[in-house]
Structure 1
Amino acid sequence: MWISVCLISSFLHITAGCTILVINYGKITVYSGQSVLLPCSCSKTQAKPPSFTWTKLRGQHSPVIISPRSDLYRGRVERFNSTSPGNLSVLLSHVTEDDQGWYRCQISREKYSDVELTVEGCTLSEPRSRVVNGSPGQSVLLPCSCSKTQAKPPSFTWTKLRGQHSPEIISPRSDLYRGRVERFNSTSPGNLSVLLSHVTEDDQGWYRCQISLEKYRDVELTVEGKYHPLTTTTTKHPPLTQPNGLDITTFLIPTTSPKGADTVGTSEEDPSASLQQYNTIQYTLLAVLPVILIITGVAWYIYKRNKGTVCIP
């Protein structure tokens, strides 16, 4: 009988009506950025201990109390005992690699249960290529990712390296990159790549994806070719007006010798003189044309009139 009680007491700690259910959970593994449930409960969920605490053990150092009011855990800890008295578990959110270690759920000095938490953080993978090619006006993807896409670093930055000068932060809020930067980590936590659109020659250079002082990856962006927007030049000439008030539009078609054509023995002509000569011919034709039309009409009228006349000798 005494042996049975000893065996039971090694798994159950009794205090104030709550018996902590001690279970060997082994290691609880979670990726950085995710949430994890640290389990602890009374054997009877209706039982409620006078108080309980969660602490993180730190070897020879004093344990750290996990409280929603502490700076380290503010906004990251959720309890359930208010709705389920015997449920002493806590939900720890936005886990980081610093959260890894041993945790203790305790209701008295001698009554507690321990659980080990393992956090797999972000390890930057090597990009397939360290050189990214782009053309002016296009979009380019600057690659960067965690080796495990489920892992999410606490933060990351993209900067453009500038030699001896301070690096320039690539942010959608900066004037230089506003409206040109798109991220993907909101839907894929470990995807730290950025899409840079409307690339210019000034964007060429080295870029750095960084999650900590020692963890970063560099890629080089080369922008080839020049971007020439399509432009048109229109030369306006005053419209020519006929005597009857109609406008005549003149289309000037420049003529040039084919590239490489033999130009020996030829002399360059003054474009303004050619244009003046062309306009003189045109005005002459416009002046003669009405006279020709009048003579033709008179001749046709006389012909019609004489055709119906009978000559009597």
Structure 2
Amino acid sequence: MAKLFCLYGCINRGTEELTLTGYTGGSVLLPCTCTDPQSTVQTFTWLYLQQQRNEVFHNENYKGRLKLLNESSPTNLSLLISDLRKQDEGKYRCEIYSHNPEYRDITITIKGCDLVNNTQTVEVMGRPGESVVLPCYCKELQAKPQQLAWTYSITQFNTKPKEIYPSEQSPKHKDKIKLLNKTSPGNLSLLLSDLTTQHKGYYTCSVGSQQYINIRLKAKATHQTTPQTNPRSETEGSSIKPYVFALISVFSLLLLTVLAVMIWRRRETRDVKNGTSDGLVLYNDGEKKDVLKPDSSAQDQHIKQDETEDEVTYSTVVHVKNAARPAQKQITTAEYSEYACLK
């Protein structure tokens, strides 16, 4: 049993059992420290407790993946395990040898890459000349699979698909694919650039024999599509249009009628004013009609203006109180009524 030299009289800080979670491809730190920085030389070791006690530094499965943190701090006996694998899961023990042996047990749970939509087929649509992402994710984005492969085949049940990642066995995919896992180890999606119709087919993302996802890529030609209309909405719209036109027609007719009445009433009022305010002197039928003259220059202007406007025929009706006395020429103008007839 290999032993590592440390400080004598080290008392382990924290003897309670601890449980940690790690992810495949990641790292985990198993803490183990001495409380007394002035401890003297003694020995300690790290054990993996499965069915028997196994020293991790003598196990080939951990070769190149272990690191002690006691170089800068001799009392720090913690162990760092890198590039975690599913088989690293289990119980570990930091064991310190002294007059009163001490130890601390730490259990590690390793979460691996379980694919989203495992064993299913997903359809992806792309357009020639553009880029398209073929989706493939682990449920735990921090988990990195131990192996990853992308393959391509024209048909779904091709017995000899060509690998396009990590090796490029398909000439038409050369220099056109890129993995998108720089920030998230569990993002295994593939970016395919400069898409053509020759790239359509079936792609498979696999991280193990039981963990894979099939992707069917369709390359659709670019063309302008005509927006689809709803037949029901067209029927409803066509049934509403006649009612709208009818309402508009009725409203327009009413508006024109109102305007015509307003114009007619305005002209009638104007003609009546011209006939009653021109200051004419009325005579009876027995007198000479050529003496009918306007009594002022204003009357003359009104008459000239009337001659240029619509022609109006005036007739005078004279009411006389005593019909048997024609010789009297006294005229009561208040009893005359004047009627205007419009042509």
Identify the residue that residue 44 of structure 2 maps to in structure 1.
52
Q: Secondary structure at the match of 1:51?
A: strand
Are residues 1:167 and 2:156 paired?
Answer: no
Equivalent position SS for 2:97: coil
1:65 corresponds in structure 2 to: 55
Could you give the per-residue CA deviations for residues 69-125 of structure 1, whole angstroms, max 9, x where no partner exists?
753223321112222121111111222222111001113395322111112222211
Structure 1 position 48, deviation (Å) = 5.0
2:67 paired with 1:82: no
Over 3 Å counting, the alpha-carbon distance change for 1:77 and 1:48 in structure 2 is farther
Q: What is the match of residue 98 of structure 1?
A: 87
Instruction: Report Cα offsets for 1:233-289 as digits up to 9, x if no partner.
Output: xxxxxxxxxxxxxxxxxxxxxxxxxxxxxxxxxxxxxxxxxxxxxxxxxxxxxxxxx
Q: Match of 1:72, SS?
A: helix
How far, CA to CA, are the matches of 1:79 and 1:48 in structure 2?
18
Distance (Å, rounded) in 2 between the aligned partners of 1:194 and 1:48: 55
Shift of 1:63: 3.2
Which digits, 9 at most, give the CA deviation of each residue in 1:206-252, with x for residues without a partner?
Answer: 1111111111111111123399xxxxxxxxxxxxxxxxxxxxxxxxx
Distance 1:136 1:126 in 2: 27
Distance in structure 2 (CA, Å) of the matches to 1:41 and 1:114: 13
Residue correspondence of structure 1 range 126-275 to structure 2 within 5 A: 126=117, 130-161=122-153, 163-171=157-165, 174=168, 175-225=171-221
Amino acid at match of 1:26: L
Deviations 1:140-197 (A, max 9, x none): 1100101122222223111114534322111365244221011111221111100111
CA contact (8 A) 1:131 1:220 kept: yes
TM-score by length of structure 1 reads: 0.60
Tell me: CA distance 1:177–1:143, structure 2 relative to 1, closer, same or farther (3 Å): same
| 1:25-60 deviation digits (Å, cap 9, x = unpaired) | 53112232222110112221342553221121113x
Q: State the partner residue of 2:287.
A: none
SS at match of 1:136: coil
* Structure 1 unmatched runs, 5+: 1-14, 228-313
Q: Which residue identity is paired with 1:124?
A: L
Task: Report the TM-score when normalising by structure 2.
Answer: 0.55
State the structure with more CA Rg. Answer: 2
Structure 2, unpaired ranges of 5+: 1-6, 224-343
- Give yes or no for contact 1:54–1:104 (8 Å, CA) kept in 2: yes
Residue 123 of structure 1 pairs with residue 120 of structure 2: no
Residue 202 of structure 1 aligns to a residue in which SS? helix
Letter in 2 for 1:101: G
Question: What RMSD over aligned residues (CA atoms) do the two structures have, in Å?
Answer: 2.7
Residue correspondence of structure 1 range 3-18 to structure 2 within 5 A? 16-18=8-10
Question: What amino acid is aligned across from residue 117 of structure 2 in structure 1?
Answer: E
Say which SS state the counterpart of residue 137 (structure 1) adopts: coil
Q: Distance in 2 between matches of 1:173 and 1:65?
A: 38
Residues 140, 222 of structure 1: CA spacing in aligned structure 2 closer, same or farther, 3 A cutoff? same
The answer (yes or no) to whether the contact 2:121–2:213 under 8 Å persists in 1 is no
* Contact 1:46/1:84, CA 8 A, preserved across alignment: no
User: What is the CA–CA distance in structure 2 between the aligned matches of 1:214 and 1:66, rounded to whole Å?
Assistant: 30
Q: SS at the partner of 2:92?
A: strand
Q: Is the 8 A contact 2:9 2:42 kept in 1?
A: no
Matched, 1:107 2:96: yes
Inter-CA distance 25–57: structure 2 relative to 1 (3 Å threshold): closer
| Matched residue count | 210
Aligned-partner Cα distance in 1 for 2:147–2:23: 14
